[in-house]
Amino acid sequence: SAAAWAKEDKEEGRTSIETSLETGEPVLSIPKMSHGTAKSKTGGSKAPGSHEPIDFLATGFKVTTNCAFSVKILENFKLRSDHLLSEIKADEKGIEDFEGEMLRLKQRKSFLESRIVENKAWAANYDEHFGPFVNKYKEFMAQMAVLYQNAKDKHANGLKMLMKHFDYHPEFKRWSDTFSAVPFRPK
């Protein structure tokens, strides 16, 4: 199994790929090498320049395993970098949207501030320019009230004259009445 190979590699001081406990990602483990002597499988030191026979099956498996882990690391890096790039693009679009909204709000603010200045100027000049017209309107309404009261009095006097001279009854018409009218009482 891969765990047995990794353990054997670690014991023999060879390069191996292990899985990190924190992230669960493959990690390349390279042991420190001593220079000048090589260790044999039996544990003794060999003279420099002597070699052990190469186990091609084991070495091929280790190379294949190391390549697979390397590919997994690169693919993982590619996925994460693509995800980060998409987040960066989304953030840039969000910044553009935010800046556009800020610009619209600043324009609206300057428009409203200019309207406030105009309205304050108009309110300050209102009494000066429109005050006389307001006073004239109040005088006109007072005169209209007097004229309307006179009209109501004349109307009431007219109804009394109709009752006296034509035997008019304002509430209902009698069968013998020759004159008919609809009464109106202004308020």
pLDDT of residue 34: 46
Q: Which pLDDT score, from 0 to 100, does residue 38 have?
A: 47
Q: What is the pLDDT along the chain (187 residues), one digit of tens a residue?
A: 445 545 555 555 554 555 555 665 555 555 444 444 445 555 555 555 667 777 888 888 888 888 888 999 999 999 999 999 999 999 999 999 999 999 999 999 999 999 999 999 888 887 777 777 888 888 999 999 999 989 888 888 888 888 888 777 777 667 676 766 666 666 6
Nearest to 65 by CA among 2, 20, 116, 126: 2
- The string of DSSP codes covering 85-102 is HHHHHHHHHHHHHHHHHH
Q: Which helix (H) or strand (E) holds 44?
A: none
Q: Rounded to an integer, what distance in angstroms lies between the CA atom of residue 185 and that of residue 82? A: 88
Predicted confidence at residue 53, as pLDDT, reads: 77
Does the predicted model carry a pTM greater than 0.85? no
Q: What is the pLDDT of residue 27?
A: 53
Q: Specify the 3-state DSSP secondary structure of 29.
A: strand
User: What's the rounded Cα separation, in Å, for the pair 185 and 108?
Assistant: 56
List 39's β-bridge partners, or say none. Answer: 45
